[in-house]
Chains A and B, each alone.
Chain A
Amino acid sequence: MIHSLFLINSSGDIFLEKHWKSVVSRSVCDYFFEAQERATEAENVPPVIPTPHHYLLSVYRHKIFFVAVIQTEVPPLFVIEFLHRVVDTFQDYFGVCSEPVIKDNVVVVYEVLEEMLDNGFPLATESNILKELIKPPTILRTVVNTITGSTNVGDQLPTGQLSVVPWRRTGVKYTNNEAYFDVIEEIDAIIDKSGSTITAEIQGVIDACVKLTGMPDLTLSFMNPRLLDDVSFHPCVRFKRWESERILSFIPPDGNFRLLSYHVSAQNLVAIPVYVKHNISFRDSSSLGRFEITVGPKQTMGKTIEGVTVTSQMPKGVLNMSLTPSQGTHTFDPVTKMLSWDVGKINPQKPPNLKGTMSLQAGASKPDENPTINLQFKIQQLAISGLKVNRLDMYGEKYKPFKGIKYMTKAGKFQVRT
């Protein structure tokens, strides 16, 4: 099971260590540093590193490496999932997860880690249980604690811990009962040179914010549940009911949670809402290259595409670029060779365009690789897969809650090859 945890910042300092079994010397991280050195970028550090006596499993988030040390055969996914859960918990507790914040709250962090794992076995990882055991720091509480000497450690056994619904505590009370659901879809796609789609898939999630009194039992049904054949549920969802009736039936956790994530990969279901026209050419003889990109709407179901940004890693040989956008702002970093263009909204009548020249290293041969264009965008009030919620019902409680559903489509890893 998980032996120890080290938090390492990007400059290679261990700024926190926690051991759940005997203490493992931090020199074990030397193997990690070696791997880090070999990998050119932080993202490329391999997640599993063997050392003579231990294994180091790591995740990299918020510019921090979370390195778990294990000694025996443990399912690596279990460890990695747990590490991500740790990060999520920190984020949940402190708003952001960063080195200074962790240092500022080191005692709470330590107490939380201790509650999450016992002898390497996960103990309490549900955020609402943790928050009952160790109260998250708030300014008010800090002040109160200082004055009254009370603590932020709960002394009662959290009720959810043992119930059949460990994700929900009892005795929840709200004056305004509300339940909001966000259907968010991200399009991952690779578009080739000629503009045809190589792969396209939708990663969808339904995130919920539920603030309901008591023990509500909710059902959520869809207009077109057939879209969802590859789904992962929050543990609260009753699987049997889904299998037989295609209805989501659940007692929700209190607060924010991810109800469900799904995956639509059938290509005919994935509409590509934007097109990118590009003309990037290097010439062998000249030290100038031409560059032009145009972004326009394709299948948007009448909605506006907004928040568009275009980024592209230009080849090393490109020294500088002189470009003029028809709208928005652009930057080119001559050190990292990263071009980014903040387009904003797309006006279908006047597709945004970025045009100009690139100056190349004199005398160098024409670059081998073609830059790939990365696209970000947002479309409000649209789930690109066409998924629609039919109705949301509540049982088990008498009051009438306020309900809301929001749809949004975003670009995930949306890449256009040139």
Chain B
Amino acid sequence: MTDSKYFTTTKKGEIFELKAELNSDKKEKKKEAVKKVIASMTVGKDVSALFPDVVNCMQTDNLELKKLVYLYLMNYAKSQPDMAIMAVNTFVKDCEDPNPLIRALAVRTMGCIRVDKITEYLCEPLRKCLKDEDPYVRKTAAVCVAKLHDINAQLVEDQGFLDTLKDLISDSNPMVVANAVAALSEIAESHPSSNLLDLNPQSINKLLTALNECTEWGQIFILDCLANYTPKDDREAQSICERVTPRLSHANSAVVLSAVKVLMKFMEMLSKDLDYYGTLLKKLAPPLVTLLSAEPELQYVALRNINLIVQKRPEILKHEMKVFFVKYNDPIYVKLEKLDIMIRLASQANIAQVLAELKEYATEVDVDFVRKAVRAIGRCAIKVEQSAERCVSTLLDLIQTKVNYVVQEAIVVIKDIFRKYPNKYESVIATLCENLDSLDEPEARAAMIWIVGEYAERIDNADELLESFLEGFHDESTQVQLQLLTGIVKLFLKKPTETQELVQQVLSLATQDSDNPDLRDRGYIYWRLLSTDPVAAKEVVLAEKPLISEETDLIEPTLLDELICYIGTLASVYHKPPSAFVEGGRGVVHKSLPPRTASSESAESPETAPAGAPPGEQPDVIPAQGDLLGDLLNLDLGPPVSGPPLTTSSVQMGAVDLLGGGLDSLMGDEPEGIGGTNFVAPPTAAVPASLGAPIGSGLSDLFDLTSGVGTLSGSYVAPKAVWLPAMKAKGLEISGTFTRQVGSISMDLQLTNKALQVMTDFAIQFNRNSFGLAPAAPLQVHAPLSPNQTVEISLPLSTVGSVMKMEPLNNLQVAVKNNIDVFYFSTLYPLHILFVEDGKMDRQMFLATWKDIPNENEAQFQIRDCPLNAEAASSKLQSSNIFTVAKRNVEGQDMLYQSLKLTNGIWVLAELRIQPGNPSCTLSLKCRAPEVSQHVYQAYETILKN
């Protein structure tokens, strides 16, 4: 007598038979029939044809039958919207039932019937249930609001359900509170802008109270919600932490991890000197370790999160290395994660243990795991200098095993060890060379070639070795080809006499016989270098390489901070911010860690704080500078009209500190060490960054010679305008303009000191903007600016900064710092500074592109009072990098077809119609990004009229 009997069918056709049974008079038969229907549904059979018959069974006192019918309805109502309406009456009636179980069941089911027409009928019963006397009904109704919102968001807002839901956060029953929070969180996710979960100290208090009493799942929702709150000072942060800490001992791992998230985030605000800070650090370790004894699936998620936590605060788990040791029957996904964390935790204190383990792993069966273990040994060598020698000998032992993939991995990591400790372990090269023939993976081959090239002078038969690779040059992967090219050039520079032929051969292979642009370009560069100035070539190619950084795969700090805010979520499993992968990226709000703030007393006297705090005092994490700056700019300078001087608040003070420190660090920063092999020309720092003359000019001169593209003069330069009046900047007046000359953009600034004190320590920073404009060099004001002195500075700009669409598009928000304060202003830059020199399209291309761009992207403008003829206009525009592709004369009008390209690669095509004698001309613009048209038109107008 089991339910499997419901799966048996008879010959007559199942549906037909079921129909008959559903319409039977006997209650018992009806129920059995409905059960059969449900059973078919569970295995994915389509029983929607029975809809009317099943709905007929709905009116019953038998609760089981009712539930079964409801189950059916939820599945099929969507496919039968008209029939579903038949059910509405029963729902409305059930919502009035004296039994709360039935009321809740009705409101729960109604929400699941995803039929638009039904939603209207749902509103009244739902409103009643949200205020029901029974908390069970209220908590069910709260979820129902989220369901309804999913079907018809507008309706929910119009009916005011959101407000009712917000009220439920103050409900007396913790279960209701938890569900209200869960529902609001879900709704907020689809409406990131709406300030639904408006958290303030009062509501936080309510949530914390409910936290202790609600179910484990409710605790997860509440904790996740708490994590979005930013406490006003460290005291509040501490008191929340204290109340959240008990959750770390919960049996439900999701509760534990959500609590860890809240603590990790709020800890950021606590001062490290606080006793409590240390206590908290100690309390975090045991629960994280406990997560590792759970089921493997839970372990996996926990490990991914621990990976983040270890990067952010290595001190928490530094003594817990052993729990990450791999058991041989761990699933492979757990093994790989554990290995990763082991390397992160490796230190001088535990390296011996770690190495012994890694060596053990390198003899396991699973290939992926073994590879990673070998790689890990190399990473340990790079991370812990004292262990390097032992690591190298371990690797050599492994190479002796001759297991193909072990050898290859070992060679790849030994290459990195060479880069980290040059001239130390080269004695092993001979052993490596023995294994040359067994290498069949590109990465290993490339690594080997790099080693041979780099140490060519110590390897007697280096030329033979490299030559042997050259035979199958075209069958190699790009990685190997590039490496081979560089390796042979290095060899040539070291042993020029014997290898001339070899280098010729590889250069011709790379430049003539290859269709890979990277390879070809690198080939040409070497060729030209070698043919013009071999000494310079030597300096470039054999330049001393920067040492590789300790850990190559650390997550970038700003991303790490963002991910810390997403502990326990999918983002933390993928180590990507949700915006990178969540469906549709519904405008996910970027989260950042709260800045460490001082207690309120000290925050109230911002004047005493020095403008650029010394780096030591800075929090070691800079929470997304750009965002903070952007917010401030919007807040304070939204309308760039005169107003009261910037208000001094604690928040702002934080920004000042950050900006100061950020700027200092930006200026001082050398480019990060680059992992793997690379052969970049000397770093940009080596190019003399003379200020007035744009950096690019020297370079472009070179290119002029080779490519023959000559640009005669720079583009139009607007006169300087006052950007920051002295009265708004404590006596500093800034006026400026933008120029573009031979390929480089600069911002010409004139700084005037109208105050009575000397100004020093100037620095400049841009907010993110539409085209990624950013200062290419620091703002250098050599001497202090004494009162009434004016200084002219040309600040070279690059377009490689971070990009954020601004409104208007060409808006640029700037922060300038000096010894007095930080000042913000915004300015509009003319778009033509972004027109690049190679913006000339060929005719065919122009025609094709013009046709290709849809007509709705075309914009037409009138340029009045512009008495120029076609020739004059064309040459005037050309000097600003708007190129005339073709010219036609149609019915007495001159038509100029022009093209231009922006620094970010957007092409704009233009048709300029000039009527002789008529001072106004017509400009039609076509572009794939129509929002730039307006600004291109303005650029045209300025250029033509000046």
Contacts and interface: CB of A to CB of B under 8 A. Distances in A.
B75 A47 contact: no
A52 to B, nearest CB: 9
B378 interface: no
A205 to B, nearest CB: 10
Nearest to B147: A119
A1 B187 CA distance: 11
16 contacts: A23-B75, A44-B332, A48-B301, A59-B295, A75-B224, A76-B301, A78-B568, A106-B7, A106-B39, A110-B71, A126-B215, A157-B99, A157-B136, A232-B251, A265-B320, A369-B363
Contacts of A75: 220, 224, 254, 257-258, 568-569
B375 interface: no
Contacts of A313: 328
Interface stretch (A160-168, A207-215, A355-363, A383-391): A160-168
B42 A17 contact: yes
Contact of B253 (A53, A81, A123, A243): A81
Contact of A239 (B65, B249, B569, B570): B249
A408 interface: no
Contact of A78 (B2, B31, B43, B217): B217
A188 interface: yes
A317 B748 CA distance: 76
B596 interface: no
A392 interface: no
B189 interface: yes
8 A-B pairs with least C-beta separation: A230-B286, A104-B2, A151-B64, A153-B64, A47-B297, A77-B254, A122-B217, A78-B254
Contacts of B250: 232-233, 235
Interface string B285-310: 01101100101111011100000000
A415 interface: yes
Nearest to A142: B1
A368 B401 contact: yes
A81 B111 CA distance: 26
Interface stretch (A195-203, A285-293, A320-328, A340-348): A195-203
Interface residues of A, number: 101
A149 B28 contact: yes
Interface stretch (A66-74, A271-279, A396-404): A66-74
Nearest to A25: B44
Nearest to A114: B71
Given A47-B296, A230-B289, A77 B257 contact: yes
B523 interface: no
B829 interface: no
Interface string A1-44: 10000000000001111111111001000000000000100011
A104 B3 contact: yes
B251 A261 contact: yes
A245 interface: no
Nearest to A263: B290
Contacts of B570: 48, 55, 73-74, 76
B297 A58 contact: yes
A233 B249 CA distance: 6
Contacts of A234: 251
B365 A369 contact: yes
Nearest to B572: A76
Contact of B583 (A71, A123, A143, A155): A71
Interface in A370-418: 370, 372, 374, 413, 415, 417
Which of under 10, 10 to 19, 20 to 34, or 35 or more describes the interface residues of B? 35 or more
Contacts of A119: 108, 111-112, 143-144, 146-147
B193 interface: no
Contacts of B357: 198
Contacts of B296: 43, 47
A397 B565 CA distance: 47
A73 B189 contact: yes
Given A55-B570, A81-B254, A232-B256, 14 more contacts: A26-B44, A44-B333, A57-B297, A77-B253, A77-B298, A108-B3, A155-B102, A156-B101, A188-B293, A229-B286, A232-B251, A368-B401, A369-B365, A374-B329
Given A230-B289, A232-B250, A263-B286, A72 B582 contact: yes
A126 B252 CA distance: 13
B253 A162 contact: no
A80 B289 CA distance: 18
Interface in B437-474: none
A149 B301 contact: no
A231 B249 contact: yes
B360 interface: yes
Contacts of A284: none
Given A105-B3, A142-B1, A157-B100, A81 B252 contact: yes
Interface of B: 1-4, 6-7, 27-28, 31, 35, 38-39, 42-44, 62-65, 67-68, 71, 74-75, 78, 99-102, 108, 111-112, 114, 134-136, 140, 143-144, 146-147, 150, 173, 175, 179, 182-183, 186, 189, 213, 215-217, 220, 224, 246, 249-254, 256-258, 286-287, 289-290, 293, 295-298, 300-302, 320, 322-323, 325, 327-329, 331-333, 353, 356-357, 360, 363-365, 401, 403, 568-571, 573-574, 578, 581-583
Contacts of B173: 162
A256 interface: no
Given A114-B71, A415-B327, A151 B63 contact: yes
B328 A107 contact: no
A153 B301 contact: no
A152 B64 contact: yes
A190 interface: yes
A161 B256 CA distance: 23
A59 to B, nearest CB: 5
Contacts of A114: 67, 71
A243 B331 CA distance: 36
Contacts of B573: 48, 76
Interface string A250-289: 0000000010010101010000000000000000000000
Interface string A84-119: 100000000000000010011111111100100011
B68 A107 contact: yes
A232 B143 contact: no
A77, A109, A239, most chain B CB atoms within 10 A: A77
A71 B302 CA distance: 21
A44 B2 contact: no
A77 B302 contact: yes
Given A76-B301, A78-B220, A233-B250, A118 B42 contact: no
Contacts of B581: 50
A71 B301 CA distance: 18
Nearest to B108: A118
A270 B762 CA distance: 62
Contacts of B31: 151
Contacts of B287: 230, 232
A26 B44 CA distance: 8
A175 interface: no
Interface in A303-360: 313
Given A73-B582, A121-B217, A106 B328 contact: no
A19 B75 CA distance: 8
Contacts of A21: 112, 114, 150
A20 to B, nearest CB: 8
A57 B323 CA distance: 25
Contacts of B42: 16-18, 106, 109-110
A23 B73 CA distance: 12
A372 B363 CA distance: 11
Given A76-B301, A119-B112, A14 B44 contact: yes
Given A75-B224, A77-B301, A105-B2, A166 B568 contact: no
Given A106-B39, A164-B213, A415-B327, A232 B249 contact: yes
A59 B136 contact: no
A153 B1 contact: no
Nearest to A137: B2
B363 A368 contact: yes
